[in-house]
């Protein structure tokens, strides 16, 4: 996402000042860190332990104040500020998580104040990172990766702290640590599910559906009559809830993976068809005329110019389809499976209230989906290297 406002004028050299957001956040964090020293960190009916009962946490709060105070006074800035803030925020998060793990459900007001402090410091570190303009491209890329990763990490940290701190029942929402434990403890089951759903249902269906859509698109493009007739229908079908054919496919092709692959084929076919036909129309008159002057025949024109020009559209469909395929296969499993598969695992373990296993399956599915999408994106970069959105 590149901002192209172009309205913010180049900053004139002036004394370093924090923006409104950063000033408020830094002041709030400082104030809360100081106030938290007087509040009970761990509180239950029988006891209330202050900050000094936990020397490690007290040291962290001290470190936070030592970093925050000069930052607030604008004495600390630049890469050093970003690095120190990030280090302090993660260290605080680590101490807070291990502390609450020992006293689940007994978090006091001081604990939550410190969670807010740690979160505010993390936000400030991201603000600083986003403001950096490193000269080396490698650092630029590392920062571009670190910012969303920090966001994701804090999502997990807050999830963990809130669930353990409030002692949310595990059947409602397990903390990420439990999900991780389950993920490591049962690789065979998860691998079998992954193989059944992803390697068989999704990949085979994806290849068949995308391939068929692509070939039919070339055929349709050759016959203008079909193009005018099929394209509106293809557009309509792309908007329909095709997932509903899942029960029919299960009825026709049985419980095993072929029915899932069939659902995936139907779901991926139309986006591919519509996008490829649109892409094949992307070549303009001038370019076609150029091929004409080269005395290129139809296959040559198709292979050397129109298909390469259609590739951005084809990859758009491949990306859309990578998520659709996974959804299609998993939902089709709700309608009937042999006793293996991600959709089966999710629906049965929900019934048995093994919510951590469900989340482990979801984590595998999310990871597989993201990797699949990432691979398609990498292939897109390699194939459409000439396109303005990829070119640097």
Q: Which residues in the 212-241 window bind another protein by CB under 8 A?
A: 222, 224-226, 228-230, 232-233, 236, 239-241
> Is 294 an interacting residue with respect to another protein (CB under 8 A)?
no
CB of 145 to another protein, least distance (A): 9
In the complex with another protein, which residue's Cβ is closer, 40 or 341? 341
Among 36, 43, 81, 127, binds another protein (CB under 8 A): 127
In the complex with another protein, which residue's Cβ is closer, 40 or 221? 221
> Is 356 an interacting residue with respect to another protein (CB under 8 A)?
no
> Is 308 an interacting residue with respect to another protein (CB under 8 A)?
no
Alpha carbon 339 to chain centroid, angstroms = 29
> By rule CB under 8 A, what string of x and - marks binding of each residue 43-62 to another protein?
--------------------
Among 31, 53, 56, 144, binds another protein (CB under 8 A): 144
CB of 390 to another protein, least distance (A): 16
CB of 232 to another protein, least distance (A): 5
> Is 269 an interacting residue with respect to another protein (CB under 8 A)?
no
Among 203, 288, 307, 383, binds another protein (CB under 8 A): 288
CB of 279 to another protein, least distance (A): 14
CB of 31 to another protein, least distance (A): 22
Residues 312-351 binding another protein (CB under 8 A) are 322-323, 326-327, 330-331, 334-336, 342-343, 346-347, 350
Residues 179-198 binding another protein (CB under 8 A) are none
CB of 148 to another protein, least distance (A): 4
> Is 134 an interacting residue with respect to another protein (CB under 8 A)?
no
CB of 71 to another protein, least distance (A): 16
Among 48, 181, 373, 390, binds another protein (CB under 8 A): 373
Q: What is the size of the binding site for another protein (CB under 8 A)?
A: 75
CB of 281 to another protein, least distance (A): 10
Closest CA to 273 of 242, 304, 250, 305: 242
Which H, E and C letters describe the chain, residue by residue?
CCCCCCCCCCCCCCCCCCCHHHHHHHHHHHHHHHHHCCCCCEECCCCEECHHHCHHHHHHHHHHHHHHHHHHCCCCCHHHHHHHHHHHHHHHHHHHHHHHHHCCCCECHHHHHHHHHHHHHHHHHHHHHHHCCCCCHHHHHHHHHHHHHHHHHHHHHHHHHHHHHCCCCCCCCCCHHHHHHHHHHCHHHHHHHHHHHHHHHHHHHHHHHHHHHHHHHHHHHHCHHHHHHHHHHHHHHHCCCHHHHHHHHHHHHCCCHHHHHHHHHHHHHHHHHHHHHHHHCCCCHHHHHHHHHCCCCHHHHHHHHHHHHHHHHHHHHHHHHHHHHHHHHHHHHCCCCCCCCHHHHHHHHHHCCCHHHHHHHHHHHHHHHHHHHHHHHHHHHHHCCCCCCCCC
């Amino acid at each position: 996402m590149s901002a192209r406002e172009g309205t913010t004028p180049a900053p004139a050299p002036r004394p370093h000042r924090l923006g409104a957001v950063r000033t408020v956040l830094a002041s709030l964090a400082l104030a809360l860190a100081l106030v938290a020293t007087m509040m009970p960190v761990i509180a239950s009916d029988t006891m209330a332990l202050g900050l000094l009962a936990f020397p490690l946490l007290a040291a962290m709060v001290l470190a936070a104040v030592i970093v925050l105070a000069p930052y607030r006074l604008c004495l600390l800035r630049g890469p050093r500020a970003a690095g120190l803030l990030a280090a302090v925020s993660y260290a605080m998060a680590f101490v807070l998580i291990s502390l609450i793990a020992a006293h689940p459900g007994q978090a006091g007001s001081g604990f939550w104040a410190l969670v807010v402090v740690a979160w505010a410091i993390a936000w400030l570190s991201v603000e600083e990172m986003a403001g950096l303009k490193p000269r080396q491209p490698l650092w630029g890329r590392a920062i571009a990766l670190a910012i969303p990763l920090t966001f994701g990490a804090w999502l997990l940290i807050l999830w963990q702290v809130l669930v353990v701190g409030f002692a949310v029942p595990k059947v409602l929402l397990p903390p990420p640590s439990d999900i991780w434990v389950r993920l490591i403890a049962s690789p065979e089951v998860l691998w079998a599910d992954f193989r059944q759903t992803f390697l068989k249902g999704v990949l085979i269906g994806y290849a068949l559906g995308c391939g068929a859509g692509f070939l039919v698109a070339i055929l349709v493009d050759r016959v203008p009559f079909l193009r005018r007739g099929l394209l509106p229908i293809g557009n309509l079908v792309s908007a329909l809830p095709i997932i509903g054919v899942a029960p029919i496919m299960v009825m026709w092709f049985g419980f095993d993976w072929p029915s899932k692959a069939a659902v995936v084929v139907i779901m991926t076919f139309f986006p591919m068809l519509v996008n490829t036909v649109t892409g094949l129309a992307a070549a303009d008159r001038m370019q076609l005329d150029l091929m004409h002057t080269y005395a290129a025949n139809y296959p040559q024109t198709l292979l050397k110019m129109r298909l390469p020009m259609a590739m951005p559209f084809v990859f758009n469909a491949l990306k859309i389809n990578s998520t659709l395929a996974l959804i299609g296969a998993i939902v089709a499993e709700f309608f009937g499976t042999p006793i293996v598969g991600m959709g089966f695992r999710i629906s049965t373990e929900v019934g048995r209230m093994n919510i951590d296993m469900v989340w482990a399956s979801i984590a595998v599915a999310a990871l597989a989906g993201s990797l699949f999408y990432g691979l398609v994106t990498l292939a897109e970069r390699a194939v459409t290297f000439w396109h303005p959105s990829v070119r640097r």
